[in-house]
A and B are shown apart, each in its own frame.
Chain A
Amino acid sequence: QSALTQPPSASGSPGQSVTISCTGTSSDVGGYNYVSWYQQHPGKAPKLIIYEVRKRPSGVPDRFSGSKSGNTASLTVSGVQAEDEADYYCSSYVGSYKYVFGTGTKVTVL
């Protein structure tokens, strides 16, 4: 199972929107509504910010939103803030009780 494809980097000024794509295949992203997104600050453990494509865990700001079209999922940070500067990883269930992560995107707040 190959890693999902994400852009290496994305950036935006405070208050702007930043969108990250996550491209897979019909065997992963396109085949299941089990796409999740994780935020990881340097030296820290990943934190779940989106699950089941668009659901937010309690405590995650509503400026984070997820969507999916075909084999590509997206994470949008609306009104990016300085504390959103981090690495972001998508993940998809791929069946047979397994899952795969994306290649990761470093978000820089300018």
Chain B
Amino acid sequence: EVQLVESGGGLVQPGGSLRLSCAASGFTFSSDWMNWVRQAPGKGLEWVANINQDGSETYYVDSVRGRFTISRDNAKNSLYLQMNSLRAEDTAVYYCARGLRWSDYWGQGTLVTLSS
């Protein structure tokens, strides 16, 4: 059974940093593109970033480029999102999701809240 379990969310001040993790199991993690997708409270889904199978290619939505870094450790079956210079508008549930042109498996999400 494919499982994606996010962790690392929490309350952080504007300008702060946070690192999210996603533990993958039930599939060959190193064979798939992976994504981070977020959803602000009461709002729609927004694709944030993705990474190819060996981590050599990464892509970002314009609003986070230069502040967020997606990475992976295939030996640990883990996906990461390092978030720096956080802003109020980054408040959201962050989901990790598998796939390139569509996402067939999603985690349950981890909530990141910006508050001073």
Contacts and interface: CB of A to CB of B under 8 A. Distances in A.
Interface residues of A, number: 27
Given A45-B95, A98-B61, A36 B47 contact: no
B44 A103 contact: yes
B104 A98 contact: no
Contacts, number: 67
A48 B103 contact: yes
Tell me the interface secondary structure of chain B in the complex.
loop
Contacts of B47: 91, 98-101
A46 B105 CA distance: 9
Interface of A: 1, 3, 32, 34, 36, 38, 40, 44-48, 51-52, 57, 89, 91, 93, 96-104
Interface of B: 33, 37, 44-47, 50, 52, 57, 59, 61-62, 95, 97, 100-109
